[in-house]
Structure 1
Amino acid sequence: MTMLPTLTPIAWGLLAVAALLVGFSKTALPGINTISIAIFAAVMPARASTGALLLLLIVGDLFALITYRRHADWATLVRLIPAVVAGVALGAVFLALADDGSVRKVIGVILLLVITFTLWQRARGSRGTGAAVGAVARSGYGALGGFTTMVANAGGPVMSMYFLAARFPVKAFLGTAAWFFAVINLAKVPVSIGLGLITPGTLMLDVFLVPGVIVGALIGRRIATRMKQSTFDWAVIVCTVLGAVYLLVS
């Protein structure tokens, strides 16, 4: 008897597209990963989709590190650690207690609030690196990033808003995000196993979807080198808004 979940051909096609977008998001456009989250949550139960998607994200993280590992802002990463750890712990508790519908709507509301705050902050004209964002804002982004990445692998959009608020150039943005999520996602694996989110079935499913992640990562790497900063910033914002709205209405 196969350990693979029973899925229709259409469902397999959607998951393949989602896997490709996972790879693309890691090397070119982080906000678009919200679409992958939405597809997985639509095809599979929300909690089960979290475990399946996490393993694909880790594969994407490897390609992001290979491409952008030298461009990380380490000072920013170190300052984020305490808030992120607290957010991950809170997310694990929430995930153990909440149902699928609550998970989607809570993440959707958080994303819209973060987008609003980020756009307001950018409108004020703050410039510089992560240190210029402010300790309170940094703690808020970090805690929400840890919470959302634990609950629904949706920390990418939250942290994208933080890096946009800090006005990171494209490569610094992608390099800092690469190290951030590589460490966080690996740390989430034992917690996810303990919560029953990663099973033999999800492992088998991911074996078939990993090639899509690889293809998406290679495509994204080529596109990122040609992308203008303003195009990158607004593409991240638009993808995050669309994903947040979907999570709210689904």
Structure 2
Amino acid sequence: MLTDPFFYAVAIPAVILVGLAKGGFAGIGVVATPLLALAVGPVKAAAILLPLLIVQDVVGVWAYRKTWDKGLLILMVPPSAVGIFLGWALAALVSSSAVELAVGVVSVLFAVQRLWAERAVKAAAAVEAGPARPWLGALCGMASGFISQIAHAGGPPFQIYVLPRRLPRDVFVGTSAIFFAIVNWMKMPAYLALGQFTSDVLTAVAVLIPLAFASTWAGVWLVRRVPAEGFYKIIYVLLIVVGTKLAWDGFFGLM
């Protein structure tokens, strides 16, 4: 694997995309697993990426350690643990393709609706935050954990609840960084129990760690240079792209 040029041809862009996502451009990392799977298969790809995600989480959490929403984490993290457990328990019964299709369609519809609302008022700042609805936050937290365990795509449910809160840019990114850092650590026991961290997987992780650090810092640097008023529009557009990708993969996976 480590001597295969094709492995690096897909692994390098995959890690860079995840790094940019961890740096603040939420969502684009969803293509990393299927991209890396072209070289090593989906199971090994997920096993390689999880330790890299945890390394990149350290950078993201450190960079945004002073800007995060405690209330959102208290609301959404415990249900995410329930979702991760359900994803592990039901892995043999739940089709990842069906989950991807449903999440993709909902994500696209949600993002299009929000962009239309912002266009209607001519300014993102004029869009009022939606009602808090804690029950929806708990449900989205559980869905995020479940989908992250099943299909490694837990970002859209988290964003569907948090984006309408209209948090300041850095608070949104910091809250997302801490939430998914916790989620990724909670996924580790299942991977360890399944014996997926083989010697070749850990060697690949060690080789890619420097790129993981560098790409995440690059994401942080870029996000902080995006005007705050345009940041949410970028995230909504990325959510449409991610949702379309998930729906596409899910649809053809069911065929």
TM > 0.5 fold call: yes
Following superposition of structure 1 onto structure 2, how do residues 1-250 of structure 1 map, counting pairs within 5 Å? Answer: 5=1, 8-95=4-91, 97=92, 102-117=95-110, 119-120=112-113, 127-128=128-129, 132-227=131-226, 228-248=230-250, 249=252
1:133 and 1:165 in contact (8 A); partners too: no
| Stretch of structure 1 that moved more, 61-70 or 116-125 | 116-125
CA distance in 1, matches of 2:202, 2:70: 32
1:151-177 deviation digits (Å, cap 9, x = unpaired):
232112332333213222221111001
CA distance in 1, matches of 2:116, 2:79: 25
| Stretch of structure 1 that moved more, 60-69 or 136-145 | 136-145
Q: SS at 1:127's partner residue?
A: coil
CA distance in 2, matches of 1:186, 1:69: 18
TM-score scaled to structure 2, two decimals? 0.83
- Structure 1 residues 36 and 133, CA gap change in structure 2 (3 angstroms): farther
In structure 1, the gaps of 5 or more residues are none
1:77 and 1:180 in contact (8 A); partners too: yes
1:88 and 1:149 in contact (8 A); partners too: yes
1:19-54 deviation digits (Å, cap 9, x = unpaired):
111111111201111121221233332222222111
- Structure 1 residues 137 and 122, CA gap change in structure 2 (3 angstroms): farther
The one-letter amino acid of 2:18's match is: V
Superposed CA RMSD in Å reads: 2.5
CA distance in 2, matches of 1:141, 1:191: 22
- Structure 1 residues 232 and 164, CA gap change in structure 2 (3 angstroms): same
After the TM superposition, list the runs of 4 or more consecutive aligned residues in structure 1 that deviate by more than 4 angstroms.
117-126
2:141 and 2:158 in contact (8 A); partners too: yes
| Stretch of structure 1 that moved more, 33-42 or 63-72 | 33-42
Note the C-alpha offset of 1:122: 7.4
- Structure 1 residues 149 and 128, CA gap change in structure 2 (3 angstroms): same
Q: Percent identity?
A: 24
- Structure 1 residues 7 and 103, CA gap change in structure 2 (3 angstroms): farther
In structure 2, the gaps of 5 or more residues are 119-126
CA distance in 2, matches of 1:77, 1:111: 24
CA distance in 2, matches of 1:235, 1:211: 29
| Stretch of structure 1 that moved more, 65-74 or 163-172 | 163-172
Note the C-alpha offset of 1:68: 0.5
2:33 and 2:42 in contact (8 A); partners too: no
Tell me the matched-pair count.
241
Q: SS at 2:54's partner residue?
A: helix
- Structure 1 residues 55 and 243, CA gap change in structure 2 (3 angstroms): farther
CA distance in 1, matches of 2:153, 2:109: 17
2:87 and 2:147 in contact (8 A); partners too: yes
Note the C-alpha offset of 1:117: 4.2
TM-score scaled to structure 1, two decimals? 0.84
Q: SS at 1:198's partner residue?
A: coil
- Structure 1 residues 193 and 47, CA gap change in structure 2 (3 angstroms): same
2:115 and 2:233 in contact (8 A); partners too: no
